[in-house]
Structure 1
Amino acid sequence: MGSMYTAVLFIRIENVASVQPVVAIKRTIFYRERAAGMYSALPYTFAQVAFNVPYILVQTLIYSVIVYAMIAFEWTVAKFFWTVFFMFFTLLYFTYYEMMAVGITPNHDIAAIVSSAFYVIWNLFAGFLIPRLRIPIWWRWLYWACPVAWTLYGMVVSQFGDLETPMEENGVTVKVFTEDYFGFKHSFLGAVAGAIIGFTVLFATIFAFSIKVLNFQRR
């Protein structure tokens, strides 16, 4: 689980450094081209969103093959597919989140500040530093609102949630341990996948709406 958490954390850092400045520059160009009547906001945002899909898919496949083999996960078609699925949509929603942050703020410097504030909360409530069952009940809603928590839930339960192998220390099976300690249930895997897709669509939609409605252009 630590390797999974580190991988997601690395993806976040890489996206912050590469996505926001580029999106901010493209938005400035978009203002000029929209004023010239070249195209409207929706085709622009659709192109921005669609452009990232094939690039991230190739990146995910290369990453998944290397890391999956190095960590020595179980080589089954289903488990490898789930790893690719969760890494692909995690890369997507991080990318779209950075695009959204730029879209709702005047420039990428302010976007970086806003993103960092949310990243602190996401790290705390991702379910790695503090498992969900140990988070106070009145703060647990932040766990369910954290996309990183859903990613870790899906990646852990898809790899270990169905293992009946007993653990050496106490004889409890891996499946029972993930349910009792982390609260991860293998039967919830489909809902987790749906939530990951939902976060991706949500961030992309807010980005499109912000580009269409907000205008930070200075004349």
Structure 2
Amino acid sequence: MACLWKQHLSYWRNPPYTAVRFFFTTIIALLFGTIFWDLGTKTSKKIDLFNAMGSMYAAVIFIGVQNCSSVQPVVAVERTVFYRERAAGMYSALPYAFGQVMIELPYILIQSVLYGVIVYAMIGFEWTAVKFFWYIFFMYFTLLYFTFYGMLTVGITPNHNIAAIVSAAFYGIWNLFSGFIVPRPRIPIWWRWYYWACPVAWTLYGLVTSQFGDIEERLEDTDQVVSDFLRSYFGFKHSFLGVVAVMVVVFAVLFAFLFAFAIKMLNFQKR
């Protein structure tokens, strides 16, 4: 608890990180809301579904990468302080890692709700409690695993400059295998396994399926209803939504655990 309180004070006194993140999120939300204005109500054509999925995909990449990049210098500084305080016998690695992970939870929740409310209203997705909850849920855990991934890259590298290079290597890979550029059924079978290992793919699966996977209206430019088109073109099944929700939580927990493990086992302190 002492480490958590220390992190709370550190974040509270660091508006260049916390406040700027909220400001950036608000600007991106308003930008996407105006670009994709009232798109969520249009499900009569395939292009409408592609555009809606594009809004989700762009948000995940823009805000997720920004979270990952912005947390790296913060964690790098905090790790330097941790080395000094651990040498003084104040606390060990795991309490520090626990505090660093836990302090992000409320800030990212505020960020997710801030983005979700603005975009959900402006794009015009269906206003039901369940669908709105799913949207906030997937955005929350997506931003969590991006943030924890940024922390992990700092944990396994000597400084945040190298961490930025390491993390950037996976941005492109996650982008390619997200299922947006190349849908899963069209990915070569020998590479399809990586689709299931890509966290962004699970996020898009959850966001699209939770919003459109239960719609039975027929598309004008095909003989399929919306749910059948999502199943045949993207491989998205509404019945799989529960598993998808579990997987985005698993990725967030996995990256947080690996960060704690890296902090405990690796030491980049220069004497």
- What percent of counterpart residues are identical? 69
Structure 2 partner of 1:14: 66
Is 1:198 equivalent to 2:250 in the alignment? yes
Q: SS where residue 243 of structure 2 aligns?
A: helix
Amino acid at match of 2:86: R
Is 1:70 equivalent to 2:122 in the alignment? yes
Is 1:36 equivalent to 2:88 in the alignment? yes
Aligned ranges 1:52-131 → 2 under 5 Å: 52-131=104-183
> For 1:129-169, what per-residue CA distance to the aligned partner results, in whole angstroms no more than 9, with x for missing partners?
00000000000011000000000000000000000011111
Counterpart CA distance in 2 for 1:213 and 1:170 is 55
Counterpart CA distance in 1 for 2:262 and 2:149 is 12
Counterpart CA distance in 1 for 2:129 and 2:64 is 27
- By how many angstroms is 1:201 displaced? 0.5
Counterpart CA distance in 1 for 2:91 and 2:184 is 46
Give aligned pairs, total.
219
- By how many angstroms is 1:17 displaced? 3.3
Of the three residues 207, 222, 226, the one matched with 1:155 is: 207
Q: SS where residue 166 of structure 1 aligns?
A: coil
What is the alpha-carbon root mean square deviation over aligned residues? 0.7
- By how many angstroms is 1:85 displaced? 0.3
Is 1:166 equivalent to 2:230 in the alignment? no
- By how many angstroms is 1:69 displaced? 0.7
Counterpart CA distance in 2 for 1:115 and 1:213 is 20
Q: SS where residue 219 of structure 2 aligns?
A: coil
- By how many angstroms is 1:33 displaced? 0.4
Query: What is the TM-score when the length of structure 2 is the normalising length?
Result: 0.80
Any unmatched runs of 5+ in structure 1?
A: none
Counterpart CA distance in 1 for 2:200 and 2:193 is 14
Structure 2 partner of 1:46: 98
Structure 2 partner of 1:184: 236
Amino acid at match of 2:203: T
Amino acid at match of 1:127: G
> For 1:37-96, what per-residue CA distance to the aligned partner results, in whole angstroms no more than 9, with x for missing partners?
111111111100110001111111111110001111000000000000000000100000
Counterpart CA distance in 2 for 1:103 and 1:17 is 14
Amino acid at match of 1:137: I
CA contact (8 A) 2:65 2:146 kept: no
- By how many angstroms is 1:105 displaced? 0.8
- By how many angstroms is 1:170 displaced? 1.7
Counterpart CA distance in 2 for 1:197 and 1:170 is 35
Counterpart CA distance in 1 for 2:95 and 2:69 is 26
Amino acid at match of 1:145: A
Any unmatched runs of 5+ in structure 2?
A: 1-52
- By how many angstroms is 1:10 displaced? 0.9
CA contact (8 A) 2:68 2:149 kept: no
